[in-house]
Structure 1
Amino acid sequence: MKLSKALISTQIVSTLILPLSSMSEPAVKDSHPNIVIFVADDLGACDIGAYGNMVVKTPNLDRLASKSILFTEAFASSPTCSPSRASIHTGQYPFRNGAHANHHGIKAGIKTLPSYLNELGYDVGFAGKLHIGPMSVYPFDLIHNTNVPEPGHEKDGVLWTDLNMGPVDEWLSNASDKKEPFMLVVNDHSPHVIWPENTEYDYSKIDIPSIHIDTKEARVSRSRYYTDISKMDKNVGRLLESLEKYNLDENTIVIFTADQGPQIAFGKWNLYDYGIRVPLIIRWPGVIEGGSNTHALVSLIDIVPTAIELAGGKAPKEIEEIDGRSLVPFLKGEKSSHRDVVYGSHTGDGKINQAPMRMIRTSRYKYILNLAPEVKYNTHINLAKDHDGGREYWSTWVDKSFTDQHAAAVLWRYHNRPKEELYDIQRDPSELHNLASDPYYEKIIEPFRVQMAEWRKQQGDTETGIFEDKRTQGEVIHYIFK
């Protein structure tokens, strides 16, 4: 799909949209749509066909996008699994809800998306990867047998887990017979590592982004990543087929997104766009013009208030109760923009991915504050030896860095992070030229510094360096095999 620079202009047919009721009134199936949220795991926005990738095959997402609005500037709250997923379900940034480090649960008293929708009379189902907690505050109807070991890897651990869509089809069949509307969350395991060993793609024809180093091993690794993306796309297709089979598609809003970018250099565990910009595709039959796209700034914290309003409720107050802002007025064409700024944070992920950083992103600029610039940046990508996702190609990058200037620059930039970074995204979309120390940009960076300090204070973010992981928050559940 060729992306347009124009914002969506959607005509509303009033007879198709009934007034939204108050939070206390239960939803009625005939007047409120079903909502399906499909979340891919570790997927770069630019790595699917609908966002312009010419190599990877994603026919089902292409079909979904042709009937949807595509957001080119949507962002996760964190480039790390648990914090991002917690924000999707709380409408709050990670420090506010407490799950700011990976594998941590949210604080007591935080309300979640299934709680809001249950109050509105919705059945709320959940399939696939969890990675949220504690489960006592996530009252989902868990669809059993959706997490299964990949064939041939039954004893190889949770990284070899597949999403089984069969039980999802059965759940939707039962939901079609009920009076109550439903919300269904489907979390895929792909394209999280470990990627399929046998690839669908010819590595010699794989594209290598300019921010990476082109070696045969990197191409083979990326071809495996693309194969896993195509595998995820097939699950999207199965979901869409189920909705059509049970005559649910015309009254079901479909939201497709991802938790963060891929486990590839400058992706996951980074606040560069490859790590924190995510795909966001929303289909709303009868309301959204198919095949449209927008550059409106959006954060995944906006999903909670959006879902509540779609379900007929009144969204919690922005800032006072949550950080999210409903997209419904924008989707209905009542507003031409959504946000002026989005934020992001990365605290830590175990003993390797310790590089605390914070981000402010506008439509033009990216400001990053690195809280521990004295620490050499390392992640599972370059250090982990027990699974793929860097192991298979990193040594070839190191070898090439001794003879190739571009390779040397990539590795230096990977390991060394300055205290501040400022990028002009419009002129430098790859975020290669740090403007933070340029006197010409002093008048631009100073307001970002003030804004960052105010946001961190408002969020209760007092971290000053490497996060000490004491695991005081609630239990986080990754997968349920039953």
Structure 2
Amino acid sequence: MVKQRVLVWVCLFTGWVTASCSKQQASQTAAPSQTAQTAAPASRPNIVVFIGDDLGATDIGPYGNKVVQTPNLDKLAKESMLFTRTFAGSPTCGPSRSTLMTGLMPFRHGAHGNHSGVKKGTKSLVQYLQPLGYKVVIAGKYHIGPEDVFAFERISKTNVPEPGFEGKSGLNWDLNMEPVDTWLSQQPKDQPFLLIVADHSPHVIWPEKSRYNPQTIDIPSIHVDTKDTRKSRVRYYEDITKMDGNVGKLLKSLDQHNLAQNTMLVFTADQGPQFPFAKWSLYDYGIQTPMLIRWPGQVKPNTRTGALVSQADLLPTFMEIAGGTAPANIDGQSFLSVLKGQKDTHHEQVFASHTGDRLMNRSPSRMLRTTRYKYILNLAPENVYHTHMDKAKDHDGGREYWDSWVAKAKTDQHAAAVLQRYHQHPKEELYDLQADPKETKNIAADPQHAKLLAGFRTQLAAWRQQQGDQETGPEVIKDEPQQKGQKPVAPYVFLD
């Protein structure tokens, strides 16, 4: 199933989508850089990571949402440890996924701009786990590169166009779980594996029809409540419930094939949804990710931790579980002691960076976050902040509701304030998340916090130096725009 495959190259630049296809043999793209050692004993757990796409942590039942229907995640949470402070390395798909899979933050792995590839010689889960005897496999969305770094075995036929979009899929992709179930049924019990199941939901484009009622849907106070916003919100929730269904299929497969008891299951997402103050921003709605971890006999079920964790920490945690030792020169640090209940703290602060989408979204920023405070440095405060939500007109990730926000802002004070905050980002932002969890009151200019602010400036500057981040403004585009038929370095999906 995974030996032959065709890569579908999907390029996303300046809000436009192009696709071309080319065929390759698996041996050309998936050869591991190191030879796997003898198969590990059965006592070594399998590791399965389910990644939601553009999902707000607070938009699922386990994190307190009372409207959205996520019965499978609700069930999983009762069997898991729930992390309340997990953060992506970037609020953008490619950079975030690269951080999760390399243990390196964006400027160290190199793919800090969306749709770009990591640096030559970078190691990923593949090169770290295969020598420990693990089979390392992916199903669903890819959006990482180059392939020699992310040389996963691939479960074919897991990326399928949504019905009605055959031959013109664009962003209309579905995760097909049937091949995942078949693959799981074929795994020998003495061969441990790490499997990533990457969904396409709830990334736009959201389903047209929704079971949710626009009249009773919840609208975040940081947004503008209009008829069109409600229409988009119910579509987004529908896609979350669709994703939850895939989680349910995975849980069923693990049970049916007698794999659940010896499998660590991680549920997370790459970043927040395509709404303002979420994706492409360093506010919590964009950078905080859900994380549920179920590991029978090892992780106490139905527990919560406020430990401050970065997704870069997943790789070294997996390595320790697999019996290896993570290299000292990566950014992530194992949090196995938190999983074991031996500690309830991890980092004192976590960091994140945002570059942009090449010629779109040219407002780079950096973040330092503690359990209580958030510091954001905007490198181009002179730029009016724009993203696909207010600029791109080729899909519904803003096109559907944005004009109604602009119209309402002409007469409504709250709407006008929301648009002002969206478009104008000051050089520095400081938030007391205990007093202001929605991050609407910037206290950077408050003299009472001058010492705190100075300390955060120093810490962020030191981190940026350590990361090799010397950027002073928007990303410099060094190459020509993607040409039709040219392979992108980070293909969106793969098919056969």
Other structure's SS at 1:257 match: strand
Task: Give the CA deviation at 1:25.
Answer: 7.1
Aligned partner of 1:308 in structure 2 is 319
Q: Which runs of 4+ in 1 moved over 3 A?
A: 24-27, 471-474
- 2:479 and 2:462 mapped to 1: Cα distance? 27
Aligned partner of 1:389 in structure 2 is 397
Aligned partner of 1:39 in structure 2 is 51
Aligned partner of 2:196 in structure 1 is 185
Aligned partner of 2:254 in structure 1 is 243
Aligned partner of 1:19 in structure 2 is none
Write the letter of the residue equivalent to 2:57: A
Query: Deviations 1:153-200 (Å, cap 9, x if unpaired)?
Result: 11333300100001100110111x352111100000000000000111
- Of 24-33 and 458-467, the range deviating more from structure 2: 24-33
Aligned partner of 2:336 in structure 1 is 328
Query: Deviations 1:188-239 (Å, cap 9, x if unpaired)?
Result: 0000000000111011110001100101110110000000000000000000
Aligned partner of 1:353 in structure 2 is 361
Write the letter of the residue equivalent to 1:296: A
Picking from 446, 456, 462, the partner of 2:454 is: 446
Aligned partner of 1:337 in structure 2 is 345
- 1:469 and 1:173 mapped to 2: Cα distance? 46
User: Does residue 475 of the first structure (1) align with residue 489 of the second (2)?
Assistant: yes
Write the letter of the residue equivalent to 2:494: I
Aligned partner of 1:219 in structure 2 is 230
Task: Give the CA deviation at 1:26.
Answer: 4.9
Mapping 1:19-34, distance limit 5 Å: 26=38, 28-34=40-46
Mapping 1:15-414, distance limit 5 Å: 26=38, 28-175=40-187, 177-317=188-328, 321-414=329-422
Write the letter of the residue equivalent to 1:79: P
- 1:202 and 1:53 mapped to 2: Cα distance? 15
Aligned partner of 1:6 in structure 2 is none
Write the letter of the residue equivalent to 2:80: S
Give the TM-score normalised by structure 2. Answer: 0.90
Q: Is the 8 A contact 1:372 1:466 kept in 2?
A: yes
Query: Deviations 1:406-434 (Å, cap 9, x if unpaired)?
Result: 01100000000000000000110000000
Q: Is the 8 A contact 2:223 2:418 kept in 1?
A: yes
Query: Deviations 1:11-67 (Å, cap 9, x if unpaired)?
Result: xxxxxxxxxxxxx97552322000000000000000000000000000001111100
Q: Is the 8 A contact 1:104 1:471 kept in 2?
A: no
- 2:163 and 2:131 mapped to 1: Cα distance? 40
Aligned partner of 1:416 in structure 2 is 424
Write the letter of the residue equivalent to 1:345: S
Task: Give the CA deviation at 1:455.
Answer: 0.5
- 1:290 and 1:27 mapped to 2: Cα distance? 29
Write the letter of the residue equivalent to 2:322: A
Write the letter of the residue equivalent to 1:404: D
- 2:479 and 2:216 mapped to 1: Cα distance? 44
- 1:56 and 1:116 mapped to 2: Cα distance? 37
- Of 40-49 and 330-339, the range deviating more from structure 2: 330-339
Other structure's SS at 1:203 match: coil
- 1:258 and 1:185 mapped to 2: Cα distance? 12
- 1:237 and 1:469 mapped to 2: Cα distance? 42
Write the letter of the residue equivalent to 1:479: V
Higher strand share: 2
Task: Give the CA deviation at 1:314.
Answer: 1.2
Write the letter of the residue equivalent to 1:468: V
Write the letter of the residue equivalent to 1:481: L
- 2:354 and 2:40 mapped to 1: Cα distance? 40
Task: Give the CA deviation at 1:469.
Answer: 2.4
Write the letter of the residue equivalent to 1:416: Q
Q: Is the 8 A contact 1:271 1:346 kept in 2?
A: yes
Aligned partner of 1:14 in structure 2 is none
Picking from 416, 427, 432, the partner of 2:440 is: 432
Write the letter of the residue equivalent to 1:331: L
Q: Is the 8 A contact 1:77 1:87 kept in 2?
A: yes
Query: Deviations 1:223-275 (Å, cap 9, x if unpaired)?
Result: 00000000000000000100000000000000000000000011100000000
Other structure's SS at 1:204 match: coil
Give the TM-score normalised by structure 1. Answer: 0.93
Aligned partner of 1:5 in structure 2 is none
Aligned partner of 2:10 in structure 1 is none
- Of 200-209 and 177-186, the range deviating more from structure 2: 177-186
Other structure's SS at 1:412 match: helix
Q: Is the 8 A contact 1:27 1:311 kept in 2?
A: no
Q: Is the 8 A contact 1:344 1:358 kept in 2?
A: yes
Task: Give the CA deviation at 1:348.
Answer: 1.2
Write the letter of the residue equivalent to 1:139: A
- 2:164 and 2:343 mapped to 1: Cα distance? 51
Provide the aligned length of Structure 1 versus Structure 2: 456
Write the letter of the residue equivalent to 1:332: K
Q: Is the 8 A contact 1:106 1:474 kept in 2?
A: no
Structure 1: 5+ residue stretches without partners: 1-23
Q: 1:471 to 1:268 in 2, by over 3 A?
A: farther
- 1:171 and 1:292 mapped to 2: Cα distance? 31
Q: Is the 8 A contact 2:305 2:344 kept in 1?
A: no
Aligned partner of 1:460 in structure 2 is 468
Aligned partner of 2:7 in structure 1 is none
Write the letter of the residue equivalent to 1:111: K
Other structure's SS at 2:376 match: strand
Identity %: 58
- 1:442 and 1:116 mapped to 2: Cα distance? 43
Other structure's SS at 1:162 match: strand
Write the letter of the residue equivalent to 1:94: P
Q: Considering only aligned residues, what root-mean-square deviation do their CA atoms show, in Å?
A: 1.5
